[in-house]
């Protein structure tokens, strides 16, 4: 039995794009709670999350408690030129003299777009179970993600499963915080 199952987060489910649409409010509540964003962030992110769900290679997973309430959510899709995040990372790598990094990471990757776990469910293996489940059938030679700089449970998780630095202390348009872009090859071990 996994630590997540022992703690009562025993149901991990794949989400179709339609299920994500139907449970969007619940998923966004997990997001704003985990990220400590104001509830108004849900209104801005909702349309973006829905537009992501129709992208090539989209996959979503969720962790549910014993009542069926969502305690964790993760999704991603194939990254491609023209997508906002791809263009931001590509420019960041080129602007910092890492053209080789762009050539290595960006041609064939799965973008781990969101991975969030409610604080009450953190520290029990929920995030790692979601990560592994999401990436188990992800399309691409690599997986890339961005996470705020600084020590956190997310950082420890990503390092534990083999993510390495791709771009550090990057500031995405619209967010003043420094972020790290991390990557690793697929499949996970």
Q: What is the CATH number of the domain that holds 108?
A: 3.40.630.30
Residue 19 CB partners (closer than 8 Å, separation 6+): 60
Pairing of strands 142-148, 109-117: parallel
**Is 52's pLDDT higher than 60?**
yes
The pLDDT of residue 175 is 84
Total of domains in the chain: 1
Catalytic sites, residue numbers:
158
When pLDDT is averaged across residues 76-81 and rounded to a whole number, the result is 98
pLDDT 10s digits, 131-150: 999 999 999 999 999 999 98
Provide the pLDDT confidence category of residue 106 given band limits of 50, 70 and 90: very high
Q: Could you list the residue range(s) of the whole structural domain that residue 106 is in?
A: 3-185
The pLDDT of residue 15 is 98
Provide the pLDDT confidence category of residue 6 given band limits of 50, 70 and 90: very low
Provide the pLDDT confidence category of residue 122 given band limits of 50, 70 and 90: very high
Predicted TM-score (pTM) above 0.75 = yes
Cα separation, 161 vs 155, whole angstroms: 10
Q: Outline where DSSP puts E strands in 9-134.
A: 11-15, 59-64, 70-78, 109-117
């Amino acid at each position: 039995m996994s630590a997540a199952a022992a703690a009562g987060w025993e149901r991990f489910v794949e989400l179709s794009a339609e299920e994500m649409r139907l449970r969007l409010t619940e998923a966004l509540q997990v997001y704003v709670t985990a990220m400590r964003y104001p509830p108004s962030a849900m209104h801005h992110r909702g349309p973006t999350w829905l537009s992501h769900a129709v992208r090539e290679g989209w996959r979503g997973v969720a962790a549910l408690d014993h009542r069926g309430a969502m305690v964790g959510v993760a999704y991603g899709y194939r990254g491609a030129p023209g997508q906002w995040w791809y263009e931001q990372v590509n420019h960041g790598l080129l602007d910092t003299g890492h053209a080789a990094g762009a050539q290595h990471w960006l041609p064939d990757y799965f973008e781990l777009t969101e991975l969030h776990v409610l604080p009450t469910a953190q520290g029990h293996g929920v995030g790692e179970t979601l990560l592994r489940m999401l990436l188990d059938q992800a399309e691409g030679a690599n997986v890339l993600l961005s996470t705020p700089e600084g020590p956190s449970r997310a950082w420890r998780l990503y390092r534990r499963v083999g993510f390495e630095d791709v771009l550090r202390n990057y500031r995405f348009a619209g967010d003043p915080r420094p972020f790290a872009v991390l990557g690793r090859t697929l499949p996970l071990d």
